[in-house]
Amino acid sequence: MSENIHGFIYEKDTDGIVTVTMDMDGPVNAMNSQYRDAMQNTVAKLETETDLTGVVLASAKSTFFAGGDLRELSSVAKGQEEQQFRMIDDDIKAPLRRLEKLGVPVVAAINGAALGGGLEICLACHYRLALNTPKVLIGLPEVTLGLLPGGGGVVRSIHMLGLEKALPLLLEGTRLNAAKALEVGYVDALVDDADALITSAKAWIKDHPSACTQPWDRKGHTIPGGNASNPAVRNLLSVAPAMTLKKTRGLLPAPERILAVAGDTMSVDFDTALRIESRGLAFLITTPAAKNIITAGFFQMNSVNGGAARPKDVEPGKVKKVGILGAGMMGQGIAFSSAMAGIEVVLKDLSLDAAEQGKAYTARLLDKQIQRGRKTEDDKNTVLGLIKATDSYTDLKGCDLIIEAVFENIELKNNVTKEAEGYLTENGVYGSNTSTLPISQLAEASAKPENFIGIHFFSPVDKMPLVEIICGDKTSDTTLARAFDYARQIRKTAIVVNDSLGFFTSRVFGTYLDEGARLLTEGHDPVLIDAMGKQVGMPVGPLTVQDEVSQELTRKAAATHRDMGVLGSNSDCAVNIDLCETMVSQFGRGGRYHGGGYYEYAEDGSKTVWPKLYELYYNANASVPHQDMKERLLFRQVIESLKCLQEGVLRSVAEGNVGSLLGIGAPAWTGGFLQFVNTYEHHQDTGPAAFVARAKELAERYGDRFTPPAIAVEKASAGDRFQ
């Protein structure tokens, strides 16, 4: 006989072993209110059993357990921390504590992913069996969502593995396959046959009837590697905060709180540590960082990857043969990503030698993977066999997609469009990898502008996860769907935007460079300017990144835009453009790969400020509060993102957030440049009202470029948020 307890199927066999199969409402088992009721009632029933010999925890879903209910967590408001603490401690931790103290062996039969709360349930069992399949992923990834494992994950990991082994897993949110989880110690044994998983769990219970006490509940238990009095542990706890701060720059509270809980765990008893852990999670749940990361990094990312922007009435398709025009930095990266996805690639350049050099890029990347044990020589030969290097347009015949990746010169792009698109299959798609030039204008050179679309990759293509798809005035829904499907086929996240100069990502990124240039011309120390960019959470400072992009490229792009009539002297980024022009034309400072720009670069990779930069611009009397400097660099990008949404360049808030995170390097704590507005705090206000008030302050001090766009003012007036 089986009994359904709020979605837990309770079955007791003739040997006295109860199998609890989690089969909750919805596609996955999650740590929500239904789970809390189910676990409370299940444990209560187990405690009343008179001839109980063991318990097997299993799942009826393809995943074992998906973790916390993020919708529930993200809806918790500030001021509800005490309520959350009680719920975590009483409704989640207490039943698991009772489960591991039942007095009989409890085994987790892990058939699929057990992440976050799923692993925490398993850690409260006395033994963990996992199916030896790629479907099994084990880990505590809460830190990547701005949270900490609050169901006992921090405390039990440390008591089971020791601080040295557990801390990296907790701070990095590492996801382990079954074999690695076994090696680490999160799993005790692997089972190859899915049908044998539960029977193996029962067999272990029968063979180990007295294995019913957790290590931390045994007399004389010590944490592996020692507690806080151990010199090695003391040393680790003393250096870990500085190492963590170097990575987070103090902008992400979750790693810091995990460290604090870990340190306390080494000094107090087990149950006290559990309560401290509960307080840590209750605090983090209501932080803006957690809300931002969960909103953009989980919900909006899933929406974008799920095809929210893809036309629904177009059948899914796959690219079989792609032609790539230009075997330079971008073209060779696109070729690699395409061939790795099993697509036949034709890589064309002006000379066969240049095309072969582009193909060699794939060989070099694969050699690195072979050295790391991730690929074999056979894998390398298979991928290289998919890439044909050529100098002839005729080899493009039969391509269902051609991507042009030549220099940002409209005449050159128009010429290759006319030469190449005739080799496409009927209704094949022609994409331009331009980063700034308007797609509608480029499509004028096409015989089929409805099949013309922008497919903007980011450098280096093999590492950057984003593709920005740009629709021109005449781009058809079918073309958009095919471009989107191709991006997903090569395992990229695709956002879809409408046409404009710079589209979304390049347009917003340009404001970061421009504000850095403005700060420089105001007389501020270049080292300080770059430091402020990093302190706000950008990957690198604006002057450093301008050197990487190169002043020469910025100057040439601006000249091209002026020739096209799409950039006037009143451009929002005019200061940076003028500064780049001065650096190149007067001083020959074209950027890092042109002999140096704002910085001089040594052979060992170190850099120092170009001395003449101080002579030209530094003013010791220039003074701006550091907070203003940081917010100027951040607000410029946020305001430009809002303008893109207001003008219809951005089609959705989700794409703005995901695009800014993956393509521009928006600080993780912001949740993207639009989500940042939702949780911004200023004085007594939070959200758009606070953002608008602060933007007006910046506008009064530093100029109209900080005037909040109408769309933000409207949200503030309505008490609404960007969703």
Measured distance CA(334)–CA(329) in Å, rounded: 9
Greatest extent of the chain over all pairs of C-alpha atoms, in Å: 90
Q: Is the pLDDT of residue 437 over 60?
A: yes
Q: Is the pLDDT of residue 533 over 60?
A: yes
- In the sheet with 493-498, reading across from the earlier edge strand, the strands are 387-390, 344-348, 321-325, 399-404, 424-432, 452-457, 466-471, 493-498
User: Which 8-state DSSP code applies to residue 93?
Assistant: I
Q: Does residue 38 sit within a domain? A: yes
CATH at 189 = 3.90.226.10
**Last residue within a domain, chosen from 640, 671, 688:** 640
CA distances from 308 to 152, 313, 318, 498, 569 (A): 36, 12, 18, 15, 38
For residues 497 and 649, the answer to whether their CB atoms sit within 8 Å is: yes
Residues of the domain holding 366:
321-501
Q: Is the pLDDT of residue 67 over 90?
A: no
Q: Which pLDDT score is estimated for 571?
A: 60
What beta strand segments (E) does 378-481 contain? 387-390, 399-404, 424-432, 452-457, 466-471
Domain shared by 490 and 553, yes or no: no
Domain shared by 479 and 512, yes or no: no
Q: Is the pLDDT of residue 570 over 50?
A: no
Q: Which pLDDT score is estimated for 1?
A: 73
Q: Is the pLDDT of residue 564 over 80?
A: no
Q: How many distinct structural domains can be found in the chain?
A: 3
For residues 23 and 9, the answer to whether their CB atoms sit within 8 Å is: yes
Q: How many residues does the chain have?
A: 723
Cα 637 to its chain centre, rounded Å, is 19
Measured distance CA(538)–CA(153) in Å, rounded: 31
Domain shared by 436 and 543, yes or no: no
Domain shared by 107 and 222, yes or no: yes
**Last residue within a domain, chosen from 264, 286, 308:** 286
pLDDT band for 560, please (50, 70, 90 cuts): confident
Q: Does residue 682 sit within a domain? A: no
Both tokens of residue 9?
A: 């199927």
**Last residue within a domain, chosen from 454, 477, 501:** 501
CA distances from 717 to 182, 674, 683, 691, 720 (A): 55, 17, 17, 12, 8
CA distances from 212 to 41, 43, 204, 687, 690 (A): 21, 15, 12, 51, 55
Q: Does residue 57 sit within a domain? A: yes
User: Which 8-state DSSP code applies to residue 65?
Assistant: B
**Average pLDDT of 631-653?**
98
Domain shared by 230 and 333, yes or no: no
pLDDT averaged over every residue in the chain: 95
User: For 407-423, what is each residue's pLDDT tens digit?
Assistant: 888 899 999 999 999 99
Domain shared by 355 and 485, yes or no: yes
User: For 242-297, what is each residue's pLDDT tens digit?
Assistant: 999 999 999 999 999 999 999 999 999 999 999 999 999 999 999 999 999 999 99
Q: Which pLDDT score is estimated for 569?
A: 38
Do strands 685-686 and 681-682 pair parallel, antiparallel, or not at all (unpaired)?
antiparallel
CATH at 355 = 3.40.50.720
**Average pLDDT of 567-588?**
82
User: For 117-161, what is each residue's pLDDT tens digit?
Assistant: 999 999 999 999 999 999 999 999 999 999 999 999 999 999 999
Closest alpha carbon to 410 in 379, 432, 383, 382? 432
Domain shared by 418 and 362, yes or no: yes
Q: Which pLDDT score is estimated for 573?
A: 85
Q: Does residue 94 sit within a domain? A: yes
Q: Is the pLDDT of residue 57 over 60?
A: yes
Domain shared by 105 and 198, yes or no: yes
Q: Is the pLDDT of residue 568 over 80?
A: no
**Average pLDDT of 350-369?**
97
Both tokens of residue 390?
A: 């050529």
- The Cβ of residue 70 has, within 10 Å, a number of other Cβ atoms equal to 20
**Alpha helices for 437-573 (secondary structure H):** 439-442, 477-489, 505-521, 526-535, 542-549, 551-564
Domain shared by 349 and 417, yes or no: yes
**Alpha helices for 341-476 (secondary structure H):** 352-371, 377-384, 410-420, 439-442
Q: Does residue 653 sit within a domain? A: no
Q: Which pLDDT score is estimated for 159?
A: 98
Closest alpha carbon to 120 in 293, 295, 278, 288? 278
Minimum mean pLDDT among 99-108, 234-243, 280-289, 644-653: which range?
234-243
Angle at 605 between CA 601 and CA 611, to 5 degrees: 25
Domain shared by 259 and 339, yes or no: no
**b/e sequence 131-149, b meaning 16+ C-beta within 10 Å:** bbeeebbbbbbbbbbbbbb
CB contact set of 174 (below 8 Å; sequence gap of 6+): 139, 141, 168
Q: Does residue 701 sit within a domain? A: no
Q: Does residue 464 sit within a domain? A: yes
CA distances from 42 to 88, 95, 126, 488, 657 (A): 18, 9, 17, 42, 41
C-alpha torsion sign, points 300, 304, 306, 308 = positive
Q: Which pLDDT score is estimated for 339?
A: 98
Measured distance CA(461)–CA(379) in Å, rounded: 20
Measured distance CA(250)–CA(318) in Å, rounded: 44
Q: Does residue 658 sit within a domain? A: no
Measured distance CA(723)–CA(719) in Å, rounded: 13
pLDDT band for 565, please (50, 70, 90 cuts): low
Domain shared by 371 and 226, yes or no: no
Domain shared by 447 and 524, yes or no: no
Measured distance CA(61)–CA(84) in Å, rounded: 28
Q: Which pLDDT score is estimated for 639?
A: 98
CATH at 613 = 1.10.1040.50
Q: Quote the percentage of the chain above a pLDDT of 90.
A: 92
More confident residue, 561 or 113: 113
